[in-house]
Amino acid sequence: MELRKLGATGLKIAPLVLGGNVFSWTADKEMSFTILDAFLALGFNAIDTADVYNRFAPGGKGGESETILGEWMKERGVRDRIVVITKGGLEMGEGMVGLGRNYLPKACEASLKRLQTSYIDLYMSHRADPDVPIEETLGVFQDLIDSGKVRHAGCSNYTADELKAALAAAGNGRGRYEVIEPNYNLVQRSEYEGALEDVCLREGLGVIPYFALAAGFLTGKYRRKEDFAGRARGGMASRYFDARGLKLLDALDMVAGRHGATPAQVALAWLMARPSVTAPIASATNLEQLSDILKSAELRLSHEDLAALEV
């Protein structure tokens, strides 16, 4: 499998990043280990998580996903084979929030402890912090890089203007965001395409989109309003249930039929075909789902396929 360069970081990753948001949420520890074992065995190497995973789940406090990943890497002895991507800055408790010098180093230390590692390959601002000057945030990142605790800096959920300001402030003792993690998929395109994508292309940033399958909508499992009931991500996926969304599912079915593929594989292959995208992030809660999404790395869409998906 051909690895892709992750922006200017020097890191090389497989064409799909495994989303760790499901660990301890919709995949328990045993299943998470099983998924991680299979993911690595098939030649994939990058895993995305965050300190707040899974603070949003019932009974969650945050840190559970990083903890599972750390336990797996230690038990299997595979830390040197994994590109670890994690994020900080969102609230983890009273006074534990933000991208300032008074908290972000502590957030990083807590992540390192849960991950049971001495360094994080890619540490990301989970969201821009309007209460902290970007110069301060980038100064913290440079300190973390200089100390060897972080190898590269990145950001998630930044707008084009926020990203441009961050890139302009880099240097002179301040770190530089080399990778961005935007919300981007075949059905939700406007947040990334346009100004933000232009910045990424111009500045040579690595791009690893999350919600690559639109919270499961692009798998095709939501065809009726009744399909959303009782599903962990049903509420998020339901936002795409409209005339355009249903038309897009039909187009996915058509393209998938041409290739003997699934809608999920086509949706991920579409992202992989975007010139600005390094690798999409997708998660799996069982081996069947994992096998499905990983096959997308071998799927090549034609110009005719790509045109059909312009819904």
Q: How many domains does one find in the chain?
A: 1
pLDDT at residue 185 in the model = 98
Residue 61 included in any domain: yes
**DSSP sequence for 52-71:** TTTTTSTT--S-HHHHHHHH
Residue 227 included in any domain: no
Query: In the structure encoding, which two tokens stand for residue 246, read together?
Result: 């249903």
| Residues annotated catalytic, as ranges | 53
Per-residue pLDDT in tens (0 to 9) along the chain, 311 residues: 899 999 999 999 999 999 999 999 999 999 999 999 999 999 999 999 999 999 988 899 999 999 999 999 999 999 999 999 999 999 999 999 999 999 999 999 999 999 999 999 999 999 999 999 999 999 999 999 999 999 999 999 999 999 999 999 999 999 999 999 999 999 999 999 999 999 999 999 999 999 999 988 999 876 656 555 565 555 677 788 889 999 999 999 999 999 999 999 999 999 999 999 999 999 999 999 999 999 999 999 999 999 999 99
Residue 220 is given by DSSP the state T
Residue 146 included in any domain: yes
Tell the burial category of 3 from Cβ atoms under 10 Å away from its Cβ (0-12, 13-18, 19+).
middle
- Which three-class secondary structure state does DSSP give residue 87? strand
pLDDT at residue 227 in the model = 53
Residue 156 included in any domain: yes
CA 128 to chain centroid, in Å, comes to 16
CA distance 271 to 278: 9
Residue 253 included in any domain: no
CATH code of the domain containing 134: 3.20.20.100
- Supply the range of the domain harboring residue 288: 4-219+270-300
pLDDT at residue 225 in the model = 64
Residue 210 included in any domain: yes
Contact 213, 285 (CB under 8 A): no
Tell the burial category of 31 from Cβ atoms under 10 Å away from its Cβ (0-12, 13-18, 19+).
middle
Residue 257 included in any domain: no
Residue 230 included in any domain: no
Contact 147, 183 (CB under 8 A): no
**HSE on the CB side for 27, CA within 13 Å?**
24
Whole-model pTM: value is 0.95
- Which three-class secondary structure state does DSSP give residue 235? helix
